Copies of this chain bind each other. A is one copy, B any other.
Amino acid sequence: MKNRDEVRELFKAKKVPLTHQRLAVYEELSGRKDHPSAEALYESLKKDYPSLSLATVYKTLQTLHEMGMVARVDSPAAQARYDAIVETHHHAVCTACGRIEDLFDPRLDTLPAPKAEGFVPSGHSVHFHGLCARCAKASAQKTR
């Protein structure tokens, strides 16, 4: 939870203009314990900023995400992806091209139970993110 001056510093360091809207979206998001959607944030912010546009919330979240100040909880991919393997297994997701590889590793199949009050777990999955072989190679080319 960053205070207003820390936020200001981060924007300055990245040379990204800090607008009222951006500050408002960030403070609203970091003040909440749930994981709101863009729409939900918009609904909350509308009271204090009646002129705020939903499109601005989307754009701001995009900007904050690129700055590394917010994370997207679920799918990075726009469309749903399907898998005919329903047994427990895990995934390596390429952050560059979106490719998803299956991982089978029994060491990941049993993990410490989640420490969440009253939560009744039925399963879990581990998502590694990083660069797939192809994209890692392409990235190495570029920076060479």
Interface residues of A, Cβ cutoff 8 Å to B: 1, 26, 29-30, 32-39, 41, 61, 65, 68-77, 79-86, 90-92, 94-95, 99-105, 107-108, 111-112, 114-134, 136-137
Given A79-B38, A126-B124, A130-B120, residue A86 in contact with residue B69 (CB < 8 A): yes
The listed residue with most B CB atoms (<10 A of its CB), out of A99, A101, A123, is: A101
**Bound complex: CA A80 to CA B79 (Å):** 11
Least CB separation from A85: chain B residue: B71
Distance of A9 from chain B, by nearest CB (Å):
16
* A118 in contact with B99 (CB, 8 Å): no
Bound complex: CA A117 to CA B128 (Å): 13
